[in-house]
Structure 1
Amino acid sequence: MTDPIDTPAAVSRTTTTTPPLRAHSPQVSAERAQRFGSWYYAEHALRVMNGYRWTLIAYSVGNPVMYLFAMGVGLATLVDQNSADAFGGVSYLAFIAPALLASATIMTAATEFTYPVMDGFKWRRVYYGPHASPLGVHQIVNGYIIAITLRLILMSAIYFGIVAAFGASPSPWGWAAVLVAVLCGLAFGLPLMAYSASVQEDKGQFALVMRFLVTPMFLFSGTFFPLDTLPIYLQWIGWISPLWHGTELGRMLTYGYPVPAWLAVIHLAYLAVLAVLGWRLARRTYTRRLGK
């Protein structure tokens, strides 16, 4: 007697057939790459970052939080006791929090738009594989910028949440300081990306950038004290620094720092022009290195 389980009908009922996987045709793949290539490369860059995500979190969030506790919580108790009106009637914590938020994005941009960019051309040469595919040079540039922008948004949002938890952002518009900080990071990072793409040999150029650009900008852009308290021969550092423009907008948004409307427009326009100029220069430099 035949076991009913072994009959062909029973086997067909108990077996689930899955359709075979089929790859897209080369034409379809090329069309998708041309349409979504920037997002494909952004996904690649984000997957690479995911491999060392805990290091990124510790560096991107841990450093500014340590500054926040050291300067805004520890030192602030002494500053507030002895200089209650020195910062426009707000606590020292509220005064420096937007500056630390903007400086965190600039330091992250200085990290991501230097050695990783040169790595794509010289050491691991990771740009040449995507460039051999239907992806265009502009999509490689845009994809990497998208990935770093998403990282800056996430990092800034986490940091702002910590700042808000300490009551350092009483204004309902404080959340917009996250967007300003991201723009601030791009305003510094994208011109640096264009420069990094032009570097043929590492001879300490990026160390000089950190020492003679990032550090003076961090110290002399009104981060820890109002810019107008500096000697006039040092104030120009803040005037040309993206950090000062981003900090002024951040303070305006987080606690209502008085900034005239025309000056706020100048701050925003300055950051936007630097970011757009850096993006265009980066595309031009990548095209020269990789070819069309």
Structure 2
Amino acid sequence: MSAARVRRWGAFYYAEKVLRAMRSYVWTIVLYSLGQPAAYLFAMGVGLATLVDANSTNAFGGVSYIVFIAPALLVSAAVMTASGEFTYPVMDGFKWRRVYYGPHATPITPQQIAAGHIMAIAVRFAVQSVLYLLVMMLFGATPSAWSWVLVPIAILTGLSFGVPLLAYAASVREDKGQFPMVMRFIVTPLFLFSGTFFPLDNLPLGVRWIGWISPIWHGTELGRGVSYGYQEPLWLIAVHLVFLLVLVIGGWHLAKKQFVRRLGQ
């Protein structure tokens, strides 16, 4: 009977294991979730925004600069968290402490281990995003009653980047600096060139394409729509959603293959 329960609910059991492990650094998560938005929004809202708003009237769709950047910062925070939670912990699971192999000795399948890892990180995205949203509300950066939808948007955006990254991390057998390179040459450019601090149309065409393929830009555009009523055609909203969902589904398909390949050996 126990084995039957594990076969059915194995992903939830593994997610519980990951969440229990997070308790050892739960205050780090909470302080990061509160401190980062407070620092960013204070710097942008009290510092830079005073200059931007004074010299760029109507440059941000008729809203203040802090209202414009706040959804982008929330979405970007989920992607930043994904870049940490779906890299080194995955290497730890397969190579360093080999923490995936203990659960795999039970009826839990490789697919359930991968799914449980994703589910646990999605819970962290949710907690982090709720706390981030509360800080945004304190700064008056959420004028719309639909701003709460930023939380599921941030979760989806974080997973759209994190699940393909999970698949890649599961394929890495030796740590040769691949993950710092992901941060420097993928995450950082996506953060800077995804319309985070200014409209994407302000960029030259030579680098604007970075935003078009960036989960951060697609998530940010959706977030701005619910946060302060940023207007976009319905077809473009559909494109944003489909793009993010395709990344999640495609990444999940690749991640399952990698987990079965690695744990089956």
Give 5+ residue unaligned stretches, structure 2: none
Q: What corresponds to 2:13 in structure 1?
A: 40
Q: Name the structure 2 match of 1:187.
A: 160
Superposition deviation, residue 210 in structure 1: 0.2
Q: Which residue of 1 aligns with 2:39?
A: 66
- Which of the numbers 230, 234, 242 marks the counterpart of 1:261? 234
Identity %: 63
- Residue 111 of structure 1 is matched in structure 2 by 84
- Relative to structure 1, the CA distance from residue 55 to residue 281 in structure 2 (aligned partners, 3 Å threshold; closer, same or farther) is same
What's the offset of the Cα at 1:247? 0.3
Question: TM-score, normalization: structure 2?
Answer: 0.98
SS of residue in 2 equivalent to 1:139: helix
What's the TM-score once normalised by structure 1's chain length?
0.89
* Aligned equivalent of 1:286, options 235, 250, 259: 259
Give the CA deviation at 1:50. 0.5
Stretch deviating more after TM superposition (60-69 or 116-125): 60-69
Matching residue of 2:244 = 271
**Which residue, 136, 147, 152 being the options, matches 2:120?**
147
Preserved contact between residue 125 and residue 155 of structure 2 (Cα < 8 Å): yes
Which one of 217, 227, 243 corresponds to residue 244 of structure 1? Answer: 217
Q: Which has the higher contact order (CA 8 A, sep 6+)?
A: 2
Please identify, of 102-111 and 79-88, the stretch whose mean Cα deviation from structure 2 is larger. 79-88
Name the structure 2 match of 1:171. 144
Residue identity opposite 1:168 in structure 2: A
Contact 2:163–2:248 (Cα < 8 Å) also in 1: yes
| Alignment RMSD (CA, Å) | 1.0
Determine the structure 2 residue equivalent to 1:78. 51
Whole-Å Cα distance in 2 between the matches of residues 59 and 154 of structure 1? 11
1:222 aligns with 2:199: no
In structure 2, the partner of 1:97 is 70
Q: Which amino acid aligns with 2:122?
A: T
What SS does the aligned partner of 2:194 have? Answer: coil
Q: Distance in 2 between matches of 1:278 and 1:91?
A: 36
| Structure 2 letter corresponding to 1:100 | L
What is the total number of aligned residue pairs between the two structures? 265
Counterpart of 1:127?
100
User: Of 56, 68, 72, which residue of structure 1 is paired with 2:29?
Assistant: 56
Question: What is the rounded CA distance, in whole Å, between the counterparts of 1:69 and 1:259 in structure 2?
Answer: 28
User: Aligned partners of 1:138 and 1:203: how far apart in 2?
Assistant: 26
Shift of 1:48: 0.4
Larger mean CA deviation between 28-37 and 53-62 belongs to 53-62
Contact 2:85 2:121 in 1 (8 A): yes
Distance 2:169 2:37 in 1: 25
**Contact 2:11 2:112 (8 Å CA) reproduced:** yes
Instruction: Name the CA distance, whole Å, in 1 between partners of 2:159 and 2:3.
Output: 30
**5+ residue gaps, structure 1:** 1-27
